[in-house]
Amino acid sequence: MKKTTYDKYPEVTVPGYDQHACRGWDAIIAELRPRMAEKTKTVLVIDCYPGVRLGELEQALQAEFTTARWINAETARRDEQALHALLARNLTDDRVFGVLSCHQLPEFFEPTALADLQKQVETAPEALVIVCGPGATLVHPGDVLVYADLPRWEIQMRMRSGELGNWGAGNYNEDILRRYKRAFFIEWRVFDRHKTPLLKRADYLLDTTVANAPAMVSGEALRAGLELLTRRPFRVVPFFDPGVWGGQWMKQQFDLDPMKPNYAWCFDCVPEENSLLMRFGDVRIEIPSLDLVLLHPRALLGEKVHARFGAEFPIRFDFLDTIGGQNLSFQVHPLTEYIQQQFGMHYTQDESYYILDSEPGAVVYLGVRSGTEPQAMFNDLRQAARGEKAFDDASFVNQIPARKHDHFLIPAGTVHCSGAGTMVLEISATPYIFTFKLWDWGRLGLDGLPRPVHLDHGEQVIDWQRDTEWVHEHLVNRIDVLAEGDGWREERTGLHEREFIETRRHWFTGPVTHHTDGGVNVLNLVEGAEARVESPNDAFEPFVVHYAETFIIPASVGEYRITPWGKGVGQQLATVKAWVRG
């Protein structure tokens, strides 16, 4: 298979701030030192996202600022038992699912201990006081404020390695699904609420993604870079992950590590999980892409989308690779009322499978076969879950041939999975982990543990009317030609009326004009080698995309044009575009 020029490390250059960033502890200390001499007494506050390596940070700064009073904010945090009692309702006993937290960070601290730290800062005779750790600004707002950040994907890698437990729990050896659950439902929600106002006023952002290789940028430059991203196309940094069912297509197509057994997922546009790379001169800063959503939701998402979803990016593009692999787990997503009532999430995971590529004989499992009796199917699933037999999928589930450029719509409540031999571009809403596995073909996870199934949840949400006839009529290749011009054709490919995402496919050999119409657009180049995104009035620099790359057009961009470019000239190209329906 021929490799593409798929860019695994897309970055944006922020002009005018070349001297505002530095890398390495020596350069960071050299930048901070003059700020320490601006007042008779200076309080340097370094607030941190949970997962930041505090030991590395403390070692570097304490070795330099030897006369400073050092205060660790975490010494005022409630103990593990008190935190568990506080969070028990949100944690639940389930291995995968909790309830979204509405906690505020001060609840995690013991008020008397916090007041004592505040008094220590106030009365300290030293000329420099350094307050460090998650929640440090609860101790003091900071004469100089540094916020230390890192992407969620890096946090997950540290969890998997055993380096990191949950904040305040020390559960380094606990099941990774339970550690992720606690972070997803509680910690990340709480700390996102905490850090948003801090990013708006921080003097510096400290990038702690790579161990012993920190980088720092001024708050002014960071905010200028984020504002720039609201006015131009951009990509987030994709990440790839093996899985028990993973395939070989992405490994070959994207030139990934050949030593990995497979790659199951690529999260190519999941801003809550992905990162952004911004270049300031010769320094590259990596931050969570969620920081852009938190600070500029209106310009990025558009007024109507922001009003509906708040500071959440509601559209997800990701890849599911089973070419040379196995079937995905057979699953269903919860109905809206169920996800609201059970988990506190206000919208559900409607989705679709766009087939980027497939092997002969590949299928998608979609909807129940006509005449299926719900109790008979669940009796069979429960026997399979107990290990008594394999699930008789052929008797209960439709298997529909899957060919390149087919589009299968999957509103919540529809049983589904892609079969072996498919390369899926999954276009979906973004509640992330609310998948109820019904059958996993008898497999163990990569951790050697049985993959969890959720039959009790699944039984509550399956829409049994989505049978063979209904699925073929409403969910398979609903293609309507909407418009044609010189060298282009626009097609509507879905999604179902129950889903809030609209999609369009454009085939083109010449320029195609698009408009955000006041809402964020997400696109993928699903056919052709290369294209260029241009502004008709030069509002942003031309942006080149390659085959299978997902890119984001902020709502504030307005009109833009996509045209064949480079190796794409002379080819027939195609994009799939998604946005939130008005």
- Give the torsion sign (CA, 94, 458, 346, 273): positive
The pLDDT, as a whole number, for residue 170 is 87
Between CA 379 and CA 4 the distance in angstroms is: 47
d(CA 438, CA 394): 15
Tell me phi and psi for residue 252, to 5 degrees.
-80, -45
In this structure, the chain runs to a length of 582
Question: What local confidence, expressed as pLDDT, does residue 445 receive?
Answer: 67
The pLDDT of residue 430:
83
Q: Are 215 and 285 in contact (CB under 8 A)?
A: yes
What percent of the chain is modeled with pLDDT above 70?
98
For residue 393, name the pLDDT band (cuts at 50, 70, 90). very high
Over the range 171-191, which residues count as b (16 or more CB within 10 Å of their CB) and which as e? Answer: eeeeebbbbbbbbbbbbbbbb
- The rounded distance, in Å, linking the Cα atoms of 323 and 362 is 9
In tens, the pLDDT along 139-182 reads 999 999 999 999 999 999 999 999 999 999 989 999 999 999 99
**Whole-number pLDDT of residue 310:** 96
CA 261 – CA 258 distance, rounded (Å): 8
Q: Which residue has the higher pLDDT, 442 or 46?
A: 46
Of 33-37, 304-308, 520-524, the one with minimum mean pLDDT is: 33-37
Burial per residue of 436-462, b for 16 or more beta-carbon CB atoms within 10 angstroms, e otherwise: bbbbbbeeeebeeeebbbbbebbbebb
**Quick one: pLDDT at residue 319?**
98
Q: What percent of the chain has pLDDT over 90?
A: 92
Per-residue pLDDT, 452: 77
**For residue 400, is pLDDT > 60?**
yes
Instruction: Enter the tokens of residue 338.
Output: 């169920």
Tell me if 484 sits within 8 A of 506, measured CB to CB: no
Region 443-468: mean pLDDT is: 86
Using alpha carbons only, give the angle 407, 409, 411 rounded to the nearest 5 degrees: 165
SS (H, E, C) 98-121: CCCCCCCHHHHECHHHHHHHHHHH
Q: What is the pLDDT of residue 347?
A: 87
Residue 27 has pLDDT above 60, yes or no: yes
Domain with CATH 3.40.50.300 in the chain: 12-229
Given a cut of 60, whether residue 2 has pLDDT beyond it is no
- In the predicted model, is pLDDT for residue 446 greater than 80? no
Quote the pLDDT of residue 544.
98
Q: What is the pLDDT of residues 542-582, one digit of tens each?
A: 999 999 999 999 999 999 999 999 999 999 999 999 999 98
**Residue 24 CB neighbour total at 10 angstroms:** 15
Q: Say which residues have a Cβ less than 8 Å from residue 112's Cβ, sequence separation at least 6.
A: none
| Residue 4: per-residue pLDDT | 66
State in words which class domain 12-229 has.
alpha beta
Q: How far apart, in whole angstroms, are the C-alpha atoms of residue 47 and residue 204?
A: 11
How much is the pLDDT for 37? 83
Per-residue pLDDT averaged across 194-204, rounded? 98
pLDDT for residue 496:
84
Let me know: does 341 contact 574? Beta carbons within 8 Å: no
For 118, residues 6+ apart whose C-beta sits below 8 A from its C-beta are 139, 140
DSSP 8-state secondary structure symbol assigned to residue 183:
I
CA distance 456 to 436: 9
Helix H segments across 362-448?
374-385, 393-396
Q: How far apart are alpha carbons 189 and 191 in whole angstroms? A: 6
Listing DSSP states for 45-73 in one string gives EEEE-TT--HHHHHHHHHHH-TTSEEEEG
* pLDDT, averaged across the chain: 95
Average pLDDT over residues 66-70: 95
Question: What are the residues facing 280 on neighbouring strands?
Answer: 283
Tell me what pLDDT residue 308 has: 95
At 355-372, the pLDDT tens digits run 999 999 999 999 999 999
Reported as a single tens digit per residue, the pLDDT across 274-302 is 999 999 999 999 999 999 999 999 999 99
Residue 1: predicted pLDDT: 44
Taking residues 60-81, what's their average pLDDT? 96
CATH topology of domain 480-580: Jelly Rolls (2.60.120)
Token reading at 196: 């948003």
